[in-house]
Amino acid sequence: MSADHARYQELVLGHALHALEPEDEAVLLKHLTACDACTRELAEHSDTLGHLAYGTPSFAPPPSLLAGIRAAVQDESPDAFRVPSAAVSDLSQRRAQKQRSRPSRAQVLVAAAASISIAGLLGLGAWNLTLQRDNVERGQQSEALRSAVSAIVDAPDRRDVGLPNAAGDVEAVAVMHDNTVNLVVDGLAPNNTVTSTYVLWGQANGGHEIALATFDVGPEVKALPPVALPVGLQPAPHLFAVTLENGRTAPADSNGRPVVQATVPS
C-alpha cells in the first residue's frame, strides 16, 4: 500500500465521520471521483457507523415529529398520502359520490348499528353482514325491523362510542347494549380479504388487549353482529381499537398500530 493511499484511507474515514477540515474534504471529494476502492471503503465505513448509531441511548421520537414531517410533505405534495392503488382510488371516487348525497354520518351509523342488531334478532346475522346504505336511507325496513331498531336505539343502557382515526374523523361507532357491542364501520379502507383482516380489540384499564372480533371492510357500510363482551370487559371496556392485521385470524397481540380507537368515557 502506498503512503499516498494510506493517507486517503484516513481521509475517507474522516469524511465518513464528517470530521474533516474543509481543505481535506475538498481533496478527498476530488479523489473519490476517480477511486473506486476508496468509494467502496467509504460505503463500508458508513455501514459500520450506521451500526454505531444504535449504540446511543434509544429514545422514541415524539408523535409531533411524524406529524411535522407529514405536514411538510403535504405542503409540498398535497396528494402524497392518497393511497395510490387502483382499488382504493375507486373507493375514493365512490366516497366522493356518496358525500354529495349522504345524510349525516351519525344518522347512518346509528341506523346501521341498530339494524344489524335487529338482523341478529331476525336470524339474519352473519359475520360481515353488509347493510345497503340506500335501504337504510329510504327506510325500507320492515315494521318488525323498525320496532326492533327502536328497541335498541331507545335502550336505556345503550352507549355509543365514536372511534376516530388519527385525523379525528370518526370512522366507526361501537354501540354497547346489554354487555354486547355492535361495531358499525363507515370510512375504513377496504382490506385485502385474502391476506388481511381487521380486528376489533377491547382493553380493560391497565389490562391486556383482547380480540373481540375479526371483520372485513368493503365499500359499503359495514356492521358486525353483536359481540358479547368478555366478563373482564363488562359493562364496558376502557378502550376500543381497530387494527388491520396480516393474515385472516386475530393474532394474540395486536400490531400496535390502531386504525381507529377511543377510550370509553367512564
Partner 1 sequence: MRTVLTMPRSPDQALPREGPTPGLDGLDDRALVARITEGDGAALEVLYGRYGRPCYSLARRILTDDQFAQDCVQEVFLTVWRDAGRYNASRGAFSSWLLSMTHHKAVDAVRREETVRKRRAAPDILDDQVDSGPAVDDAVWSVLRGERVREALKTLPDVQREALTLAYFGGYTQREIAGLTSTPLGTVKTRMLAGMHRMKAGLENVSRAATAEPGLADGATS
Could you say which residues in the range 120-139 bind partner 1, by CB under 8 A? none
- Using CB under 8 A as the binding criterion, the count of chain residues that bind partner 1 stands at 86
Name residues whose C-beta falls within 8 Å of residue 164's C-beta, 6 or more positions apart in sequence: 170, 171, 260, 261, 262
Sort residue 116 into left (φ over 0), alpha (ψ -120 to 50) or beta: alpha
- Cβ nearer to partner 1, comparing 147 with 193: 193
Assess contact for 175 and 181: CB atoms under 8 A: yes
Q: Give me the 177-216 binding string for partner 1, x by CB under 8 A, dash otherwise.
A: ----------xxx-xx--xx----x-x---xxx-------
Q: How far is the CB of 28 from partner 1 (least distance, A)?
A: 12
Q: Among residues 34, 53, 86, 96, which is the contact residue for partner 1, using CB under 8 A?
A: 53
Asked if the peptide bond before residue 235 counts as cis, ω within 30 degrees of 0, the response is yes
- Could you say which residues in the range 226-265 bind partner 1, by CB under 8 A? 238-239, 241, 244, 246, 252-259, 261-263
- Could you say which residues in the range 55-114 bind partner 1, by CB under 8 A? 55-70, 72-74, 76-77, 79-85, 88, 92
Name residues whose C-beta falls within 8 Å of residue 26's C-beta, 6 or more positions apart in sequence: none
Q: Among residues 166, 180, 219, 220, which is the contact residue for partner 1, using CB under 8 A?
A: 166
The DSSP string of 203-222 is: E-TTS-EEEEEEE---SS-E
Sort residue 247 into left (φ over 0), alpha (ψ -120 to 50) or beta: left
From 15-23, 101-109, 134-142, 175-183, give the range in contact with partner 1 by CB under 8 A: 15-23
Q: How far is the CB of 112 from partner 1 (least distance, A)?
A: 19
